[in-house]
Amino acid sequence: MAGEILDNRGRGEVSWHFPKFHPESYKFAAIAAAASGLCAFFAWETLAWPLAALTLGILAFFRDPERVTPQGDRFIVAPADGLITLIQQVEPPRELVIDDGTGAPGLPSGPVTRISIFMSVFDVHINRAPLGGTVRRVVYIPGKFMNADLDKASEENERQHILIERSEGAMIGFTQIAGLVARRIVPFVKPGDMLAAGQRVGLIRFGSRVDVYLPAGTEPRVLMGQRTVAGETVLAEIGQQQLIEGVSQ
């Protein structure tokens, strides 16, 4: 059909592409590859082969495949690849609620549904915007490096909150949380940036978790134990009532 979108870039023909690697991988892979080459030069094969495997593992960790984001203004898509380990009613983080002095509104107080997605070292670690809109807050908080699968990791681990506001005023917040192995959260966005749903917003190195705070009254469309694909899996759908409330705020 003329004008039909055939690929995830909105043009051309459908075909398989070898996944790209994020530039963050280059220095780590180069160090491992150089060490492997040095060991091979001195015939230290017991070290050379494991280091060569480590080089490939680093590249695999930082792979950045293309994703096809569902088209629909009401869809809230998963910001991370991984396993849904928690779906709970909680108060949103105070950093996303309180007045931050910029004049931009925060999330309303009161219990909301939080969906927690745990990313193992084998998952893609590029995080994506759950919906389109303007970035209102990016708040980094230093903390511990406990197992990201624990509930208390949301309040005690190193983390970064991001708040996105849609054009009609509806907002969603999500949090990147470092884990036992993850030691750095790398943001790609800043307040004022305008994002499309599924756009890359950052990454967390080497195993972590992302919490998504659904707008009040929004029911999740996923279950605990389900695996998600960043930018593709629909977590929930914003209802008409939430859109009306967003406009009236």
* Residues annotated catalytic, as ranges: 208
The predicted model scores a pTM of 0.80
Residue 101's region, left for phi above 0, alpha for psi from -120 to 50, else beta, is: left
Residues with Cβ within 8 Å of 58's Cβ and at least 6 positions away in sequence, in order, are 25, 28, 29, 32
In one-letter notation, the amino acid at residue 28 is: F
pLDDT at 57: 82
The CA-atom distances, in angstroms, between 104 and each of 27, 173, 189, 249 are 38, 14, 17, 12
Q: In Å, what is the CA distance from 248 to each residue of 228, 238, 244, 245?
A: 32, 15, 6, 5
Q: What is the pLDDT of residue 114?
A: 95
Cα angle 107, 94, 145 (rounded to 5 degrees) comes to 125
Neighbouring residues of 177: CB distance < 8 A, sequence distance ≥ 6: 148, 153, 154, 157, 158, 159, 204, 208, 209, 210, 211
pLDDT at 154: 65
**One pLDDT digit (tens) per residue for the chain, 249 residues:** 444 444 445 555 666 676 787 777 778 888 889 999 988 888 888 888 888 898 888 787 778 888 888 888 889 999 999 999 999 999 999 888 887 777 778 888 889 999 999 988 888 888 999 999 999 999 988 866 655 555 655 666 788 999 999 887 788 999 998 866 656 788 899 999 999 999 999 888 766 889 999 998 889 999 999 999 999 999 999 875 554 455 444
Look up residue 126 and give its two tokens.
């590029």
